[in-house]
Chain A
Amino acid sequence: MIHTRNLTKAYRNGFSRTFVLRQVDLDIDEGEFVTIQGPSGAGKTTLLHILGLLDAPTDGSYEFMGEPVYEMSENRRTEIHRSQIGFVFQAYHLIDDLTVYENLETPLIYKGLSGPERESKVADMLDRFSLVAKQDLFPNQLSGGQQQLVGVARALIIEPTVILADEPTGNLQSQQSEEIMETMTRLNETDDVTIVQVTHSEKLARYGERIVELDDGWVEDDYQIDQPEAVKTGH
């Protein structure tokens, strides 16, 4: 599903170059649940943006579902965003001028769903994330945690095949965080949705089955978690 070779990202800084990602080789198969970890500034967000086709690497190759991303047209990318990738931003990034309801509806509009279809899907999401009471509020009228919930709901609403989530629970209470992780796990297990999440929390990392550790742009470690079962029964 996701294959990168030699993926490198560098920023020009005066005459020198700062490397944010260095020769990252990553293979993620369909249906995997991967957690990316690493200290602040390690390049996690950058990597996720590249995987989500929001940014282009400086060097190296990236294949998304067998297609070289480098050769993709703008239209093809748009198409993938519409139907394959659900992206959760670290900084939520809701559209300020739209209500919660409309923020959730927007991806469906671009996807070309009819009015009634959109309505039922949005209602479903609002219900699932307990946001019904907030549906007519604007983002700046929500708490940070609530905004994050909307961000997650927005990513899930198109029923993507890949969810890329950048610290999706950073601002949530632990109970809410766990609920979200469970939702994702369920999607992963029942619908075979591929999930790549970034998190600082050891505990939440355990929801996944594999951990990629990033440090200063290098992949430091990449391993399967031995007993995912143990985590699930751990609480």
Chain B
Amino acid sequence: MLRNYLKIALRTLKRHPAHTTVNVVGLAAGLAVCLVIGLYVQHELSYDRFHRNSDRIHRVVRADTAGDAFGPTSVRRLEGSAQSPPGLAQSLTSRFPEVEHATVVAPVSEPLLGRGEDRLYVDRVLRADTSFLDVFSFDFRRGDPATALDAPGRIVLTESLAGRLFGTTNPVGKTVVYENEAEYEVAGVVADPPSTSHLQFEALLSLTSPQRDTRYGSTIDWNFYGDPLYLELQEGTEAHALETKIRAFERTADGASEHSEETAELRLQPLTHIHLYSAGIRGGIGTQGDIRYLYFFGLIGLIILGIACINYVNLATARAARRAREVGVRKTVGAGQPQLVGQFLGESVLTAALALPLALGLAWAALPVVNDLVGTTLRLGNVPPIFSLGAAMGLVGLVGLAAGSYPAFVLSRFRPSSVLERSGVGASGGKGSWLRRGLVVVQFAASVALILATVVVYLQLQYVQTKNLGFDEERVITFEKGPLGDQYEAFATALRGQSATHSVSTGQPPGVGHLRARTRVENAITGETNRVSVLMVGYDYVETLGLQLEAGRSFARDRSSDAEQSVLLTESAVQSYGLTGNPVGQTIPGPYGDGDVRVIGVLDDFHNRSLHYARQPVVIGIDRAATNTALVRLAPGAMQNGLDAVRSTWAEFLPDRPFTYSFLDQRIKAQYRAEQRLATLFGLFAGLAIVVAGLGLFGLATFTAQQRTGEIGIRKALGATTTQIAGLLSREFLQLVGLAVLIGLPGAYIALQRWLRDFEYRVDVGAEALVLTGLVAMGLALLAVSYQAIRAARLDPAHTLRDE
């Protein structure tokens, strides 16, 4: 029986190549998208699960509690900082027996490592002690994890870094030079961390003694934002109960009550949440995923698969009149409803199964592109074959059932005589066609929504990338001046003397990042307190970044008072302080609470942070504790010369240290990489969705044209023109797509307005975007329908009539 279903199904598919193609291609596209998204979701969900005790490991988070009226925030939506105060590790382990191990992990930014004469910058290095290897189960290849990091001056290399530094020789016991100054002994080799580890590193450095003392000391410095702290809990510990105890301890601990200007409380974040649920957490290690995007992409995958299934249902119901006769005959010769349902489901499952290899091929071809876009290393072989095969079969079965069950149950219920005589009442007309129309509307509404999403994401991206930030981000390079140490002033002076550089300064550049030192100021008039961002910079900061001076002057080296007692305010800061009259020359309380300072100039407001965040009022002073970031504006038209000048000057001072830098405009752009990816992915998905929906429309149009050849012939014989007939055939479809546009646009518009709320500064989505989207959808629908309509309309009437 089964073989027979299969044979019949195969036969039917073969006899209707156009329908089969539309169905197979559509389902393959849907399945391919689902496969790729499935792989991605699986990858994201498996983060950090490879550790032996992953369910017992937690990260301590200082969660913001301000303004939370609904009790403690859900652990999935924590906001706050991953930087724990130094000393907390020791206090927690000694006080709570539930804490088995505690480890503090500190990222080291791009250190210079060397062996012999070779030097190289290493991307990701972590500093930690032995407890790190107790808590986390990274795969040790050489050396003993129990002792590898238990003394200062030890380094553990990953296999790939060991290869780069030592080739194939065993590095254990050999020496690595750190930052040209300290020697570290290689104490072990560990396998490269899996891509599903949020802790990515190429080397682990053991702690120096002073570092050990502060991090694992017994006094907690609540005012300090230290390094991420991870706890491994005893088996069977209720994390939530422990969290409550820790918070009780926090309230009574010495110095805890005034530990921050924000109200914060300690929370435990499960290790397996870190990758996906840390959107609101600052100061963590590694890049983050975002659970919202997982839902989002999952939804898109389902939408596209849904559109493909709708194609199947629509083509099947369109053909119902013909199939109904077959059903009648089969019932007459003894087919029961189960056999008929089986037959139709067999067809749909077979179609889905035929689509599977094509889908795998598509997914295989698409993965490199997707990996490139999303920055992943997904491969079809990433999941165990049994699992993927099972998943694929399950998917095929599911899609087959989803697409086939409506036709199957409807068709199999026909009463023989009603479908055998007189072209079948209730088969082609009536309910089936209403359902079909409804589904076409649904398909196109979803496609339209995706197109609009693409357009809006793209517009927003354009907007943030071209928005005037209030300073000139071009031709500014930034680099760490730390390695120059005391020689920095000499270096800067040497640079200033060159024509290829415009100006040189230090300080955090505006436009990037979101965390800024802030101070509370009291408005002199209203008495309310405002927050003002504090920026401590070197001389020439205003000139180097092209900030606009509105009144007064900027800092001058030759005025000794500027170094300590002068500040610049932005316009909005002037208001925060409540200064009236000409602010220049007035005195205000200094940002660090140590005496008054004089306002020497007022600047136009500028975007001191990324456009995800609101621009803040800023007070700028001359740097007291040296910032590590140097800024150089290159002279116009001499970019390459300027770069060469900086590089060769650097080499004069530090010959054994390569010069690394980045352009400020690129750093600013990089902040929107998530949106950039989103835009590209959206474009891809929206394109795919509309193509699959268009394919379905094409199939329906083909069918209608076939069905109406007789009518067309008669109309032509009566004098209708080709245009009139093509119009007749296309009109209904275009009306449906028009309706879909009317439904899809407002829905998508509302959803997109919500997405835009993520941005403090957002583009106005004007009518143009909506009209453009509508036109694109209508245009594609017209394309899908008109080919068949025109073809049918141009047939010679005698021919079509004879065919009937």
Pick the most buried of A74, A75, A95: most chain B CB atoms within 10 A of its CB: A95
A54 at the interface (CB under 8 A from B): yes
Whether A54 lies near B416 (C-beta < 8 A) is yes
A74 and B421 CA atoms in complex are apart in Å by 21
Interface SS of chain B: helix, strand, loop or mixed?
A: helix
Considering the complex, give the chain B residue whose CB is closest to the CB of A138.
Answer: B15
Contact pick for B326, options A95, A107, A109, A111, CB 8 Å? A95
A52 at the interface (CB under 8 A from B): yes
A188 and B206 CA atoms in complex are apart in Å by 101
Contact pick for B417, options A49, A75, A81, A107, CB 8 Å? A49
B43 at the interface (CB under 8 A from A): no
B11 at the interface (CB under 8 A from A): yes
Given the known interface contacts A98-B8, A107-B334, the answer about A93 and B339 at a Cβ–Cβ threshold of 8 Å is no
A10 at the interface (CB under 8 A from B): no
B329 at the interface (CB under 8 A from A): yes
Whether A54 lies near B334 (C-beta < 8 A) is no
Given the known interface contacts A54-B415, A56-B415, the answer about A93 and B420 at a Cβ–Cβ threshold of 8 Å is yes
A78 at the interface (CB under 8 A from B): yes
Interface string of B317-334 (1 = CB under 8 A from A): 000001001101111111
Given the known interface contacts A97-B12, A97-B326, the answer about A106 and B418 at a Cβ–Cβ threshold of 8 Å is no
Considering the complex, give the chain B residue whose CB is closest to the CB of A94.
Answer: B329
Contact pick for B334, options A46, A82, A93, CB 8 Å? A82
B625 at the interface (CB under 8 A from A): no
Interface string of B406-434 (1 = CB under 8 A from A): 00000000011110110000000000000
B585 at the interface (CB under 8 A from A): no
Could you say which residues of chain B place their CB within 8 Å of the CB of A55? 415-418
Could you say which residues of chain B place their CB within 8 Å of the CB of A87? 332-333
Whether B339 lies near A110 (C-beta < 8 A) is yes
Query: How many of chain B's residues have a CB under 8 angstroms from any CB in A?
Result: 26
Interface string of B331-347 (1 = CB under 8 A from A): 11111110100000000
Could you say which residues of chain A place their CB within 8 Å of the CB of B168? none
Whether A106 lies near B328 (C-beta < 8 A) is no
**What distance in Å separates the Cβ of B429 from its nearest Cβ neighbour in chain A?**
16
Considering the complex, give the chain B residue whose CB is closest to the CB of A92.
Answer: B329
Pick the most buried of B1, B328, B421: most chain A CB atoms within 10 A of its CB: B421
Could you say which residues of chain A place their CB within 8 Å of the CB of B11? 97-98
**What distance in Å separates the Cβ of B771 from its nearest Cβ neighbour in chain A?**
46
Whether B335 lies near A78 (C-beta < 8 A) is yes
**What distance in Å separates the Cβ of A84 from its nearest Cβ neighbour in chain B?**
10
Whether A81 lies near B331 (C-beta < 8 A) is yes
A193 and B418 CA atoms in complex are apart in Å by 28
A83 and B334 CA atoms in complex are apart in Å by 8
Could you say which residues of chain B place their CB within 8 Å of the CB of A152? none
Could you say which residues of chain A place their CB within 8 Å of the CB of B12? 97
Given the known interface contacts A45-B421, A74-B337, A78-B331, the answer about A97 and B415 at a Cβ–Cβ threshold of 8 Å is no
Could you say which residues of chain B place their CB within 8 Å of the CB of A110? 330, 333-336, 339
Considering the complex, give the chain A residue whose CB is closest to the CB of B1.
Answer: A109
Given the known interface contacts A54-B416, A55-B417, A109-B4, the answer about A97 and B334 at a Cβ–Cβ threshold of 8 Å is no
Whether B15 lies near A97 (C-beta < 8 A) is yes
A229 at the interface (CB under 8 A from B): no
**What distance in Å separates the Cβ of A151 from its nearest Cβ neighbour in chain B?**
10
A55 and B418 CA atoms in complex are apart in Å by 8
Considering the complex, give the chain A residue whose CB is closest to the CB of B14.
Answer: A97
**What distance in Å separates the Cβ of B414 from its nearest Cβ neighbour in chain A?**
11
A49 and B418 CA atoms in complex are apart in Å by 10
Contact pick for A54, options B1, B325, B332, CB 8 Å? B332
> Which residues of A95-115 are within 8 A (CB) of B?
95-98, 106-107, 109-112
Given the known interface contacts A93-B420, A98-B8, the answer about A111 and B334 at a Cβ–Cβ threshold of 8 Å is yes
Contact pick for A52, options B330, B332, B421, CB 8 Å? B332
> Which residues of B136-186 are within 8 A (CB) of A?
none
Could you say which residues of chain A place their CB within 8 Å of the CB of B420? 49, 54, 89, 91, 93
**What distance in Å separates the Cβ of B181 from its nearest Cβ neighbour in chain A?**
82
A158 at the interface (CB under 8 A from B): yes
A154 at the interface (CB under 8 A from B): yes
**What distance in Å separates the Cβ of B79 from its nearest Cβ neighbour in chain A?**
61
Could you say which residues of chain B place their CB within 8 Å of the CB of A106? 330, 333
> Which residues of B1-41 are within 8 A (CB) of A?
1, 4, 8, 11-12, 15
Whether A107 lies near B415 (C-beta < 8 A) is no
Could you say which residues of chain B place their CB within 8 Å of the CB of A91? 420
Interface string of A103-146 (1 = CB under 8 A from B): 00011011110000000000000000000000000000000000
A35 and B769 CA atoms in complex are apart in Å by 73
Q: Can you list 5 contacts pairing A with B, beta carbon distance less than 8 Å?
A: A81-B335, A93-B328, A110-B336, A154-B333, A158-B334
Q: Which residues of B contact A (CB under 8 A)?
A: 1, 4, 8, 11-12, 15, 322, 325-326, 328-337, 339, 415-418, 420-421
Told that A56-B415, A83-B334, A93-B420 touch, could you supply 10 new A-B pairs with CB distance under 8 A? Answer: A49-B417, A54-B417, A55-B418, A74-B337, A81-B333, A89-B420, A94-B329, A97-B15, A109-B1, A110-B334
